[in-house]
Structure 1
Amino acid sequence: MKKIAVIICALFITQTLSAQNAGNLNYHQKIHFPNENIALNHPTTANIFIQVKGLANIKADAYVAIFSVTQTGKTTEEVNELLDKRITQPLTEIKLKKEVETYTDMVSFVPIYEFEIEKKSFSKRTYNEIPTGFELKKNIHIKFSESSQLNDIITILAKNEIYDLVRVDYFSSTQDAMKKDLMTRAKLLVQEKMKNYEALVGESFVNVEKQLTDGYRVALPVEMYNSYEAYSSSALNLRKPATINQSAKSTTLYYQPIVDKEFDFVINPVILEPVIQILYEVTVMIKREKKSTTKDGKEYILVTPNGEMKNLDLKNENEGY
């Protein structure tokens, strides 16, 4: 019996270590990465499609973090004074950092109400809503150039009880140049694929009709975060009804970029930190003319031992007899 218990324990440890080596996300569930490519409609009339998909990963060179701060007070003067004290000192310290800018955005300024109980003889209680103070909300926008600066900014704001980081936006000054680079590389691949098709079918596409459609998509880090719960619970085989109180499970967020498994080429494929991802897709339709080289309207193609494809002009051969 002890041997069986040891074997079961060893199997459990092996499975646990395997999951940890692959990451807690795999321990939670089986992961299937969806197809994140751009969906382009093909032209309505076509014989051959040439499709090229490209992906570029760009590191941001500017960031904007937004923090939310709320203050309450009995009067308008009090609430303004308290909030100004909370944000003035930390913003002064943050502005001393290199290439950092700040902006304070007024969000809301509303009165706060509570219920007062009015007691009357020989009647039910009456609850009257009365104003008891004011609530002021502001958002602090902070622009910085290095991602490592965010830790320092959070530390400074936390000393003044400002904790609510709403979002972080990413920007890149090279985004337009990268779009042009994607288009140039895709153009070369389209031309290469077109030559391969010409060699395959034994035709030239230089003077044939062509149609083209293309498009971009930009994926920002703020929209690429997923969540999961990593935990292991024991199974209870209870013979009698019982109350089971489960503990709250911690939810983890993780950055999930677009996976480069469906692209013809990728610029900067290795991702160490959240990046701006630009997708480009181009589809070229080549309209081939139907050929009729025989009296019965059929076309005959000879495949040589070397794998080459040649059209057989049986009409001319028949006329020679």
Structure 2
Amino acid sequence: MKKLIFAFTALCSSLLSSAQISGNINYEETVHYPEQTISVGATADRNLYINIKGMLNVKPDVLIATFSVTQTGKSAQEAHELMDKRIKTATAAMQALKGAQIYVDMISCVPLYQTQVEQKIFSKKTYNEVPAGFELKKNIQIRLTDPALMDELMAIAAEQEIYDLVKVDYTVLRMEELKKELMAKAQKLVLEKIKFQETLLGSSLTGTDRTYNDGFKVFLPTEMYKRYTAYRNNSITGGVNTNRFNAADKNTSLFYQPVMDKEFDFIINPGILEPSVQILYQVQLTILRDKEKDKKPNKEYILVSPDGQFKTLPLQP
């Protein structure tokens, strides 16, 4: 009996652990997974089409982080003085980071207004907007070559009450070289598929006319983050008066969702751990088969004269 209970417990633990491997993302109702079947249909012509899709994952060479800084003051001069003090202190510490380059971008300086009530003896109240101060906005742009320094960068900014990390741009300096690497790999696979086609067809494709189309697409980590909320609905709320029910705030999070590598003929640098720049390449080769071979040979009638000369007789269609 103990062995039976132990086996049942182990089975349940195994099932639970296997389910958790998929992660909490499967609780999100908006997650849809694509059809996993392969559809291969016959072409309407005798041409041969060879498609090769490849992807290359690469770590970015440069990161540019943009922080937004806001400062208010009773006057424009006061706002500028307070802003400059915060930015100079922050940038001085940021410049100590290895390879950091900094640029401060002026965004806006606009007046702030508040409402003032004017009460007149023989009329109703009048509400007037009057200047109450100034709001100054600037952006700090920091160029880094080491992504590991982002934590230190955030800590330095937070010391000066700079919390708004607007975005992080990713740059690959050797993009042309990487695209050539993708094209060379795709070319090799195209030639292999041509040999495969020749084996299946039992005939050579040498000398056939060919056309091709190709194209690239690049995905940056900034545009590949998805939002999800991990929670289960409370079944008790079905019979509860909604006016007396206070729902808890659900934590919304983000996760990095790269282009999945399940539909590519080849992957260069697969399974990279950190968010990366993904370069996609596709080439389609069209081999134009000779249609003249499919036509039936035309019949000819040749007249041989008594003196041994040959004459082709025209045939009526």
**TM range, normalised to the smaller chain?**
0.7 to 0.9
Report the equivalent of 1:71: 71
User: Are 2:294 and 1:292 aligned?
Assistant: yes
TM-score (norm. length: structure 1): 0.81
CA RMSD of aligned residues (A): 2.7
Gaps of 5+ in 2: 1-10, 36-43, 300-317
Structure 1 segment 100-111 matched on structure 2, within 5 A = 100-111=100-111
Distance in 1, matches of 2:109 and 2:61, equals 35
Secondary structure at the aligned position of 1:80 is classed as: helix
Report the equivalent of 1:132: 132
Could you list the structure 1 runs, at least 4 aligned residues long, displaced by more than 6 angstroms after superposition.
11-16
Q: CA deviation at 1:190?
A: 0.5
Distance in 2, matches of 1:15 and 1:58, equals 36
Secondary structure at the aligned position of 1:98 is classed as: coil
Q: CA deviation at 1:248?
A: 1.2
On the 8 A contact 1:100/1:143 being kept in 2, the answer is: yes
Report the equivalent of 2:154: 154
Q: CA deviation at 1:24?
A: 1.2
Distance in 1, matches of 2:264 and 2:238, equals 52
Gaps of 5+ in 1: 1-10, 36-43, 298-321
Aligned residue pairs, count: 280
- The worse-fitting range, judged by mean Cα deviation, of 199-208 and 99-108 is 199-208
Secondary structure at the aligned position of 2:248 is classed as: coil
Amino acid at match of 2:282: E
Seen in structure 2, the aligned counterparts of structure 1 residues 237 and 245 have a Cα distance that, compared at 3 Å, is: closer
Distance in 2, matches of 1:296 and 1:241, equals 88
Amino acid at match of 1:230: A
Seen in structure 2, the aligned counterparts of structure 1 residues 122 and 46 have a Cα distance that, compared at 3 Å, is: farther
Structure 1 segment 38-187 matched on structure 2, within 5 A = 47-187=47-187
Secondary structure at the aligned position of 2:141 is classed as: strand
Distance in 2, matches of 1:27 and 1:17, equals 16
Pick the structure with greater CA Rg.
2
Secondary structure at the aligned position of 1:227 is classed as: strand
Amino acid at match of 1:265: F
Secondary structure at the aligned position of 2:143 is classed as: strand
Distance in 1, matches of 2:127 and 2:177, equals 64
Report the equivalent of 1:39: none
Aligned-residue identity in percent? 45
Distance in 1, matches of 2:201 and 2:99, equals 59
Amino acid at match of 1:213: N
Seen in structure 2, the aligned counterparts of structure 1 residues 85 and 19 have a Cα distance that, compared at 3 Å, is: farther
Amino acid at match of 2:156: I
Distance in 1, matches of 2:20 and 2:195, equals 48
